[in-house]
Structure 1
Amino acid sequence: MKHGKRYTEAAKTVDRTTLYDPETAVAAVKKLAVAKFDETIEVHIRTGCDGRHADQQIRGAVVLPHGTGKTVRVLVFAKGAKADEAAAAGADFVGADELVPRIQNEGWLDFDVVVATPDMMGIVGRLGRILGPKGLMPNPKAGTVTMDVTKAVNDIKAGKIEYRLDKSNIVHVPIGKASFTEEQLADNFHTLMSAINKARPSTLKGQYLRSVTLAPTMGPGVKLNPVNLA
């Protein structure tokens, strides 16, 4: 893969053989974000888990203290009083059965997170083939299947993010924008890593964190020492 001049020049400022501590890595990754837009800073965590085994799956959610810098659009499946609660909490879209054909037939996906009350999961389940592959399916572990829709919406708007293993046993999570201060990014990073460490499967033998990399949307990554993060 051929990289542009900006990427190549930025990459020269990072020693690829060095494993950095979090604060140094955050400072370095901010300098690597040289695109003309406010790049997202992401963490990529390669684990020693085998996601093919149910007892080694990692999935959960955590509220980042400084948010992600992104405006998140929330869709809530609820009826009656719970629908009113969701709307009052600031949900962008609230509905029930009538949303199914809109998503199924019209391809409407103008939302980033889906929340549902437990009684609505029969309806939401019909959208599994569409929402599932996009990572939008509500899940109790992530706190998106709940009767407390007010808390769910508030948390998401405040900067709650989901983390989960992909097929390569890697977790990819945004922790903010390049415009954030180093302190804000470091706070978010440490909050995320605390949650990831707590999510370590009890059945896992051997090293849990194989590699941890910070990277901006368009730039090269900075590797951290995973031993110091466990």
Structure 2
Amino acid sequence: MTDFVFPPLVTPALPVRGRAARFPVARVFCIGRNYRWSADEPAPREMPAWFMKPATAVVPAQDRLPYPPGTGDFCPEVELVVAVGRGGRDIEPAQAEDRHIWGYAVGLDLTRRDLRQQAKRVGGPWEPAKAFDHSAPCSPIVPAAAGGHPREGAIRLTVNGAERQRADLSELLWPVRELVAMLSRSVTLMAGDLIFTGTPAGVGPLHPGDVVCASVAGISEFSLTVSH
């Protein structure tokens, strides 16, 4: 038995729809711009940029959404989340769904947007803007074996009942299978990895007391209240 200097952290995990077992989270990869934010935006020639959040940023999306410290511009971005069940390197896009994707969820990529803008101006890292506590709330994972692999369906976010973001999964500039393949060419994917696949246009700030509702048709929906 390994002797640790202090007890190791409990592995972050998400509930699984229809099962008692939970999905253990290994790493969190977040894809940058992957929807058109304007009608005249040209088709991309290169794969999107990506960044990471710690696994400890992942929390079940339920009830409260804590307003983080150090920001005055706290923004939610609704995204389809891919749950990897089998890792690999140099994965072929055609094999991603059948061999590697375990399921799907709805998540929020939460951002301290003022810190991100500051980082962009000075060429600094994005971690202060993206990798803070509770910055990746997720719905329960829906196993692909039960729900299939979604290629279309509305993705939507409202704040206090007013629609802020809406698109269709068919409008992803790079489909899920291509994102899995792209990441696997850079790192060896692991079982338990989550991939946030990008957000539609319509990013705006939240305030304490706001009610945020996020959904992807056929996957899940949830509602959170922003708290102090």
Which structure's relative contact order is higher, taking Cα pairs within 8 Å and 6+ residues apart?
1
TM-score (norm 1): 0.23
Report which of the two has the higher share of helix.
1
Report which of the two has the higher share of strand.
2
Indicate the structure (1 or 2) with the bigger Cα radius of gyration. Answer: 1
